[in-house]
Structures are given as C-alpha cells and as structure tokens.
Structure 1
Amino acid sequence: MHVLSSIVGACTLGALALPTTASPTRRAAKPSYVAHPDRVDAVKAAFQRSWDGYYAHAFPHDSLKPISNTYSDDRNGWGASAVDALSTAIVMGNTGAVIQILEHVQKINFDVAVGDISLFETTIRYLGGMLSGYDLLTTPDALSADLKTLYTNNRTLVDGLVTQAENLANNLMVAFDTPTGIPDNTLQFSPPQITNSTSNSIATIGTLVLEWTRLSDLTGNGQYAEKSQKGESYLLNPQPKALAEPFPGLIGTNVNISNGQFLDGNGGWVGGDDSFYEYLIKMYIYDPVRFASYKDRWVLAVESSMAHLASHPSSRPDLTFLAMFSGTAPRFISQHLACFDAGNIILGGLVLGKQRYIDFGLELAASCHDTYTATVTGIGPETFSWKDNGTLLPLNGSTNGGPPTDQVDFYNKSGFWINDGQYILRPEVIESFYYAYRATGDTKYQDWAWNAFLAINKTCAAGSGYSSVTNVQAENGGTFQDFQESFWFAEVLKYSFLIQTDDTVYQVQADNSGKFVYNTECHPVRLSTSYGKP
C-alpha cells in the first residue's frame, strides 16, 4: 500500500490572492471556505516523503530519480528541487526543510552551471523561488509561530535570498544583449554568454516580467524590470499584425530576435504560448497602475478565445476545450499544460468583476476534470484531441477528423482521445480546481482535487519519492520514468495543500483583498508596494 493510499478524509480548503485598490472591481461577497485537516496532513506527508527522498539521494543536485535513488542535474546543478520546494515548505510550516533550503541557497555558485541554461526555466524556478521565499518569510501573517522564530533568528539567510537572486540575474542579464532586446532563451555561463539563437517563443519571452520586475522593486535596481519589459513590448504590439495576430489579442508563437518580427501566426493556450497570456493578467494584479495595458491585452485574448477557440466535442457537446489555431483555422488538440487556462480566466474574472469569464473558466475546469475521470488511472494525459461538433468547423470538414479506430469507443464515451498518455507530475488541472474553489467556495472542487491527488499518489509513488509514468490509460500508469520533477514540489503539492487548508494571507481572495499573486511555478509573489500594499 502506498503511504497515502489509505487516507481518505472528509475535509475542506482555501487558495490564492488578489489586489485591493480602486482599479480592479471588487466582488460583492467573499465565499466561505472549509478546511480538511486530514487531507492537509496527507499532502504534507507526500511532501515529506518527496523531500526526504530528494535530500537523501539527490541533494544538492537538481532532481531525484526515485527508483534508482540517484540524481539528475537537469536544471544546471544548482539544486532546483530545493529552491522550488522553498515556498511550499513555508506555507506548509515545514521549518526543518525551510532551514535546509535557506542554508543551501547561500552556498550556490551561480557563476558555474551544468549544461546550457534556459532563461525561462531559471527565472520561474530559481528567481521565482528565491523571491517568493523572501516575500513569504518577511510577511509575518503568512508564517507559523516556528517560522516567525526562524525568521527572527536567521535574518541574514532570508536577506540572502534577494542577494542570491541578484547574483543570478546579473549573470542571466546577458540574455537581453540582442539587437532588439528580445532575450535569447539559451545561455551558457563561465563566462555568461548567449548562444545566438535566431528566435524565441512568446512564452519564454513573456514569462519573465513578474519575477524580474519584482527583483527591481525589491532592490531598487530598475534595469531588471526594464530589460524584461522591453522584450515583452514586442508581444504587446505584435508585428506584422496580419500574420502575428490572427484574432485580436491572440498571437503567434515564434519571434525573430534580430528584428522583433513574428515568424508565424500559430498558437493557443498551450506550451510555447501559455504563460504569456497567464502573465498579462497577473502583472495587472501585481500593479494595475503600471500594467493596465497588460490587462487590456489579456481581455482581448480571452474574448477572442471565447469567440473563436471554444470548441465542443462531437461525442460530448457538454464539454468545452480551447482549440489551438493556425492562422484563423482552429486545431482540435490540447495539452495537460493548457488546463491552466480555466484557472487563469477565473482569476481574471474575479479581478475584473466579470462573471461571464468566471463561468467560462468553470466550464473549462469541469472539462479538464473529465480528462482525469475518463482514464484508467484517474489522471489526465499529456496531450489529447477531439472532433468539433460543428461549432467552429463543419462536422465533416477535412480538418475536423475523428479518433483513431482503436479509440472510437473511448472517444464516444469521453469526448477526447489520447495522443500522448504520459503524466510527468503536472499541476495544471489541480491548479484550475484551486481557482474554481476560491471563486465559488463550492466544495466539489476540493473533492475533485482530492481525488486527483489520491490517483497521483496511487499511480506515481515509487521508490524514495514520486515518478512520472508512461501511460495514464494503462493499469498502474504503464511504467515509471524514474524522474521526480522539481515542479512536483512547487506546484502539485502546493495547490493540493492550498485547496484543502485554511484561508490565509497568501491565498487568492475572491473579493480582491489578497496580498500575493502566484508566478507560473506557483511561487507566491507579494504585490507591488506602489499598489498601496504595506
């Protein structure tokens, strides 16, 4: 029996946080929330198992291989799992892990890296993790009594999070030394240098602004914000418009670094594009004075998505998925990654006081829930497809084909077929349940998240931790891939915890009274002081 498989409690939760000035529209009332202590304890136990395995067999390297009890330096050898776990350990009140991570961060040498460096991945995991740790540990009402004492006795270690974030950012800053200021996503250190990539995607350009702007706001050094926002500016005004922006607010994926011109008009709320859209509304939440134009672009993207991408499977018209697009032509394929779209649209609906956005996000969340309940393991696949019911394309159109013959019965019942059945410990479906719960207070979303957590625990608990698996539509998930992603700590375990625990200062608040916004790696970032926050 897996360590958590016998824990089936009856409990309830809380979740994230939004702005409080006159700019965003307040909802009239805040939902009531319930906490489920037994579920909270189960998630904490999963964190401890994962942390103990990592600390015993992989620390201070990046990722645990739980079957072979070895490690991988897949994120440059700086201890990605430790840094990614910091904010989760803080919100869980895990003082032992917090002090271990704080001590580790001070020892990282960001001048030396194993392998090529991804500016995007390094920003969301390392910069985001360190800045979030600082923001949480310097917010007294976010801390347990033990963590308040830890902060009092370890101020130097906590301040060192910002110092180390600066050290890392100073080395990463070479990424922006391009003709346009659009960053090269692939770097090398010793010394810092770009690899002269010719293009970059909107996700890897547009998912830097929150962390780099926060670093500027904490340090007073404006160059971090300026450089990230310069790259973003090419996405806010995409050129050439006829190619780059097939629908208002929805833009292509790849941008020429040398001249800032878009190379295609293909995209969606999927990998390569996803978190660009996510950060538009989150930057507005972070500071609606400086980033009002980001909100306007997000609204355009959501309106176009509702009008041009919302699709219903022919066998299950009750479901709603967002299609990808190639120019103005829809493509009926999506990803586990894309299931964050529900939560992001719900979040924007809360901030802007737009119930129709919230309702649409809830539709998307319910449909992603079905990708979990339809499979043998109770976990959704990496990628899936469907046949549109005639909403966006003729039912028998040449680009609106049906399922492969061996999945016809599955499609008829489930409303999608599986293209890639892997599960690599992704968080996006539980993430959207979290926002749905915070928006509504409806405890069914806690139950959905709990069932997903139990399915993941049953299928992925392996060796000294948790492992990705090859096939969610096979008994026991097929085979283990012997890899525990760092975002397992940062995202899956945090969202699973937040949706079952008490209402706290770092949770999303439906009445826009919160003090934090979450980066794409689920690291809580304190809202800008220029937005009137203490």
Structure 2
Amino acid sequence: MFFNRKGRPIAKAIVFVCVVYFLFVWFPRSSPAPVKQQKRPGKPISRKDPEPPKDAVHLTKHPELNPVPAHIPLPNGPGSIPRIQFDFPPESPEDRTERVRKQEAVKSAFLHAWNGYKDHAWLRDEVAPTSGQFEDTFSGWGATLVDSLDALVIMGLDDELELALEALNEIDFTTTTSREVNVFEIVIRYMGGFLAAHDLTNGKHPILLKKAVELGEMIFNAFDTPNRMPQMRWNWAKSARGEGIWASPRTSLAEIASLTVEFTRLTQLTKDPKYFDAVQRITNNLQEGQATTRLPGMWPTFINAEKLRFEDTSFSVGGCADSAYEYFPKEHILLGGKTDQYQKMYADAIETIKKKVIFRAMTKDADRRALFAADVYVLRGGDSQSLRYAPDHLKCFMGGMVALGAKVFNRPDDMPIARGLTDGCVWAYDVTPTGVMPESFRVSACENIDVCPWDQNKWFADIIGRHIELDEERQRAQQKVDAQRLPPGITDIRDPSYSLRPEALESLFIMYRITGDKSLQDAAWRMFQNIEKATRTKFGHSSIADVRDKEPKLKDKMESFWLAETLKYLYLIFSEPNHISLDEYVLSTEAHPFKRPTGPS
C-alpha cells in the first residue's frame, strides 16, 4: 500500500511523536553530567638530575679565615619616608573593566611562559622557549622557579604557588657543577625571590625564609676575603676546599654595590647582623671613594675591589653600573630613613649625572622630550672628557629611579628629568617596525636640552661623522639609513636584539604610581602588545635577534626576569594602585617587593 504525497507528512509526524515518547518516557534516564570542578594542577615532572653529576662540587662549612671583630648594626635613629604614591581618585566601572581586561591579558601571557617552564624545565634554571629544552645558567638551582615565586603570589596563582613551594626542598644550595658562582645574580634572583614571597605571604610558608637563610649562609662564604669585599665571581671550588679567596682586582660596580637591599632585608627578618654588616662595609668604602674618582660623584663602571681603587676611565649608568645607583634610594627607604648616608651618596651622584651624563635626543616630534644617559670617558685628572650618546635598554631604569629619588629625598625639580628619561625609552619602542626597543643604539644629541627642533642635516652628519656639505655626503648618509633601517634620530644600531628586558616598563610602573598619569598605562599596553606579538613561542616567549624585522628571528632564550620582572611590572601597571603600594614595599632590582618595616629595627 502506498501513501499519497499528502499523507506522508502525517505519517512522519506520528513516527516522530512515538520516538520522542519512547526516548523521554520509557528509555531509562541517565543522571545529568556533573559540573567539572577546577582541579589543582598536577605535580610537574622534575628535570633535575636524580643524583648530583660526577663533576658537582659540594660546599662544606669551614671556619672563617677573615672574621670581623664586630658587626655594624642596623641604624636605629629616628627617621621617616615621605609619601610616594599618587592619591588616586575612585575608578569608574568602565575604567575598571578596561583595566582588568588588560591585566588578565598580561596574566595569560605569564601563565603561558610559566607553563612552558613548568612542563619542560621544572627545577632547572631556564626553559628554551622555542625548542622546549632546558639550560642551567645560574648554578642549576631552579632560577626561574625561585625568581617567579612572588609573581605567583601577586597574580593570585595559589595552586601554582603550592606546586613551587613543594619543589623548594629539592634545591640544594651546597652543591653545584659551577666552578664560578655569580654572587650578584644568585642574590637578586634567588634570595630576592624567597624574601619577597615570604613578605607577601606574611611568613605563612616557613620554607621561604628557611631557604633564604640556607642561601645566605652559603653565599656568605664569598665575603671571606682579607678586606671583606666579596669575590663577585666566586671561586666556589676553592672555598669548598677551605682555601682563601680574594676580592677581584676588576669587578663591575653594579655587582658589588647591589646586594644591600637583599642582605639588609635578611638581617631585618632573621636578626642576624652579619648580612647587613657585610653590605654596609661595601657602602662605606664606596662613599669614601666617591669624591676621588675621575668623575667625582660617580664611580667608574669597573673598580678594583681588592685594592679599593676607583681609577678606571669609563663611567656609565648602564650595564655593569646601573643598580648601584638604583639601590641608594631603595636602601634608604628599607632602612626607614634612619641614616642620611644613602641620601648623601645619591645626591652627590645625581648632581653629577644631571650635569655630565643626561642629554636629549633629537626627534622628529619636537614636543617629545626624549632624555637618555650618555657614557662618559675621562682621562687622568678629569681635564679631557668624551661622551658617547649611546642609549641602551638597561639604562631605562633611570626614569623610575630619578622619580623615586625625587619623592623620597624631596627633590621636586628632578621630576621632569624622570619623565623625560621615561619618555625617551617609550620613544625608542615606538619608532621601530616591531614597536620594541633595541638593546643598544646611538642617537643625535641635542645641543640644548630644552629646545631641540628637528634638523635633517644634523642627523645625517651624525650618521656619517662629518658635516654635510655635498650631495654625495647626503646620499652616503641616506644609504646608511636605508641599509641599517634607521628610524629618524637614530644614527646607529649597535645591537638590534631584544632580550625580554623589563627596565622601560619598570620606569613606567614607578612613574604611573607616582603621578597617576594614565597615558603611561596606554604606553605600557602598546608595548605589551608589541612584545607579545614579536616574542611569543610554543613554550613561552623568546628573545629576538632584530627589532627591525617585522617577523624577527627567535633566539630560543627566556631568562627568568621575563616572569620575575617584565610581566610582573606590566601586571602591576594594570593593578589597583594599592596592590603592592610603593608606600608599603620596596622593589629590588629584580622587582622583588620587600615589606617596609614599620616599627623599631
């Protein structure tokens, strides 16, 4: 029997009703699918060697060869620190929504890089973000893990923090394959990470201070020299055998002068005076020599720590010198203003820096006051000086330092300089094809720091090193511009790479917290987006070879400061202002926040 066309829809409807009735009435019903609960992340696979390698050296405790007769105590006189942060007004709902959106984007980038490390380099120093391999660059004690501890707290990543805390017992600071231990890097990354996480969690996790003390006991051996100046590239094997060591006849200013904040905080927390004593002896020697250098007020980039001589000819606030100056206002804050020593040293240094080092770069945007710091070379007697107008990324901390010093030491006239130094580094980001600043370059320097109109001929002259008089000289300059892809104002790019550095964002963070200027947040967001686009890889974010390439070559390198500093500063720029307030914390040179003491020492 065949249904006609009109009857087919009726039959189909009857069949459909029967099927539905059967499924929903007679067919046994299953329970609804449970809502998935967020699970604690699984324990990462350790990449640490199960047994120490055969070439590892174990450091055992030996009696001090050069003990001090008495310890220098923490200062206990009266002191106070002026308010630092801007008095921020209430935030509108629209502004909050936009700010949180940006903050979450930064947090997402952090988790991407953290998971790459966690999955492929757990308990090693660094993950190679492109290949997924690992490497040990700082004695193999898990630099990225420890350096990132406080960032996990700041970003509210509690489960990730628990995993990290569980792993800390596997770190043995008495054993390494390194024959030479970089004291500065170990202190700022490891000790800073432990102490900041301890302070941020109000001592809730005893393992953090325990490991900081273990590290302090170990690294203290590097100070056992005849003049108590530390051997900054410490011959670990010699100390392991109980043999004597000496301070280096050539050590960088930054390395030897940038231990004060970490060691002072360790003394404040443990009440053990030896750590503050150790760094205060360095400070006293620096102050004694400050007026005797070839550029009085500043110290040469390299000093003779063995003989305590400051005779070198090169002066800079860039690499190998930077954090020495940064730590004067920060140590003053951490000590509660109870001594004026660091204020005096800062004042003498910043006056010389303002007169001899800071200059303005000529830019096409004449309203943009782009300030930078030059390198200075001084012949014996100081009669002959030469300047190299060579900005580099490491110098970009200067804007934040000068702003902090202006507030803490009541130097309001320095604030425009701080803003100009910050704006200079933002300009250096904005003018490249990737929107990312190169490691180091040279610029045309203005003759007048206040008035500086754009002059194409001057730019060309600076590029070729001679006055432009002929068309062929102009053509030669243009050829160099084209060959090196030089943005207007830049005369040479010495190192076009970008190493995920934080210094420019550090200054933006401090300037924003001090001034409340939202344009600084805009600049930070622009920089973050450009960095993320240029550096993101499968297992994290990578240093890049050339910021002039729109699709730059990746170098498969992600240092721990990408998580510990760069992304942390970005996150804090988009945090509520009272989150890690500058009136409650001092941030170390590795961006580790230490709680400012409120009571007697």
TM-score range, shorter chain: 0.7 to 0.9
Asked if the contact 1:50/1:465 (under 8 Å) is kept, the reply is yes
Asked if the contact 2:85/2:514 (under 8 Å) is kept, the reply is no
Equivalent position to 1:334, from 391, 413, 430: 391
CA distance in 2 between counterparts of 1:25 and 1:196 reads 38
Asked if the contact 1:180/1:260 (under 8 Å) is kept, the reply is no
Question: What is the identity, as a one-letter code, of the residue corresponding to 2:439?
Answer: E
Q: How many residues align?
A: 480
Question: What is the identity, as a one-letter code, of the residue corresponding to 2:295?
Answer: P
Q: What is the aligned partner in structure 2 of residue 467 from structure 1?
A: 542
Secondary structure in structure 1 of the residue aligned to 2:463: coil
More displaced 10-residue stretch of structure 1: 355-364 or 480-489: 355-364
Q: What is the aligned partner in structure 2 of residue 346 from structure 1?
A: 403
Q: Deviations over 1:493-533 (max 9, x none)?
A: 1000000011225222xxxxx1110000000011134568x
Question: What is the identity, as a one-letter code, of the residue corresponding to 1:481?
Answer: K
Secondary structure in structure 2 of the residue aligned to 1:413: coil
Alpha-carbon shift at residue 187 of structure 1 (Å): 1.9
Question: What is the identity, as a one-letter code, of the residue corresponding to 1:260?
Answer: L
Asked if the contact 1:179/1:257 (under 8 Å) is kept, the reply is no
Q: What is the aligned partner in structure 1 of residue 197 from structure 2?
A: 133
Secondary structure in structure 2 of the residue aligned to 1:183: coil
Equivalent position to 1:212, from 248, 256, 263: 263
- Is 1:282 paired with 2:326? no
Greater radius of gyration (CA) = 2
Alpha-carbon shift at residue 27 of structure 1 (Å): 6.8
Question: What is the identity, as a one-letter code, of the residue corresponding to 1:364?
Answer: L
CA distance in 1 between counterparts of 2:486 and 2:420 reads 19
CA distance in 2 between counterparts of 1:125 and 1:76 reads 12
Asked if the contact 1:204/1:272 (under 8 Å) is kept, the reply is yes
More displaced 10-residue stretch of structure 1: 116-125 or 280-289: 280-289
CA-based RMSD: 2.4
TM-score (norm 2): 0.76
Percent identity reads 30
Structure 1 segments of 4 or more deviating over 6 A?
none
Equivalent position to 1:487, from 556, 561, 584: 561
- Is 1:365 paired with 2:412? no
Equivalent position to 1:231, from 271, 282, 285: 282
CA distance in 2 between counterparts of 1:412 and 1:423 reads 17
Asked if the contact 2:84/2:404 (under 8 Å) is kept, the reply is no
Asked if the contact 2:227/2:306 (under 8 Å) is kept, the reply is yes
CA distance in 1 between counterparts of 2:216 and 2:83 reads 36
Equivalent position to 1:504, from 547, 563, 578: 578
Unaligned runs of 5+ in 1: 1-20, 140-150, 152-157, 509-513
Higher relative CO (CA 8 A, sep ≥ 6), structure 1 or 2?
A: 1
Alpha-carbon shift at residue 125 of structure 1 (Å): 0.2
Q: What is the aligned partner in structure 2 of residue 525 from structure 1?
A: 594
Equivalent position to 1:163, from 190, 199, 210: 210
Q: What is the aligned partner in structure 1 of residue 188 from structure 2?
A: 124
Change (3 A) 1:309 1:200: same
TM-score (norm 1): 0.85
Q: What is the aligned partner in structure 1 of residue 148 from structure 2?
A: 85
Equivalent position to 2:159, from 60, 83, 96: 96
Change (3 A) 1:96 1:414: farther
Asked if the contact 1:283/1:291 (under 8 Å) is kept, the reply is no
Alpha-carbon shift at residue 350 of structure 1 (Å): 1.8
Unaligned runs of 5+ in 2: 1-77, 379-384, 450-454, 465-476
Change (3 A) 1:300 1:111: same
More displaced 10-residue stretch of structure 1: 256-265 or 514-523: 256-265
Asked if the contact 1:446/1:500 (under 8 Å) is kept, the reply is yes
Q: What is the aligned partner in structure 1 of residue 373 from structure 2?
A: 322
Alpha-carbon shift at residue 475 of structure 1 (Å): 1.6
Question: What is the identity, as a one-letter code, of the residue corresponding to 2:131?
Answer: S
Alpha-carbon shift at residue 191 of structure 1 (Å): 6.9
Q: What is the aligned partner in structure 2 of residue 70 from structure 1?
A: 133
Question: What is the identity, as a one-letter code, of the residue corresponding to 1:246?
Answer: L
Asked if the contact 2:370/2:420 (under 8 Å) is kept, the reply is yes
Change (3 A) 1:476 1:102: same
Asked if the contact 1:112/1:190 (under 8 Å) is kept, the reply is no
Alpha-carbon shift at residue 262 of structure 1 (Å): 1.3
Asked if the contact 1:187/1:195 (under 8 Å) is kept, the reply is no
CA distance in 2 between counterparts of 1:308 and 1:502 reads 38
Asked if the contact 1:205/1:232 (under 8 Å) is kept, the reply is no
What are the equivalent positions in structure 2 for 1:42-81 lying under 5 Å apart? 42-81=105-144
Change (3 A) 1:80 1:267: same
CA distance in 2 between counterparts of 1:333 and 1:260 reads 29
Asked if the contact 1:207/1:275 (under 8 Å) is kept, the reply is yes
Secondary structure in structure 2 of the residue aligned to 1:49: helix
Q: What is the aligned partner in structure 2 of residue 14 from structure 1?
A: none
Q: What is the aligned partner in structure 1 of residue 311 from structure 2?
A: 263
Secondary structure in structure 2 of the residue aligned to 1:104: helix
Secondary structure in structure 2 of the residue aligned to 1:55: helix
Alpha-carbon shift at residue 415 of structure 1 (Å): 4.4
Change (3 A) 1:454 1:238: same
More displaced 10-residue stretch of structure 1: 444-453 or 380-389: 380-389
Q: Deviations over 1:197-247 (max 9, x none)?
A: 3321210111101101111111111001101221222222217x44x2514
Secondary structure in structure 2 of the residue aligned to 1:402: helix
Question: What is the identity, as a one-letter code, of the residue corresponding to 1:43?
Answer: V
Asked if the contact 1:84/1:125 (under 8 Å) is kept, the reply is yes
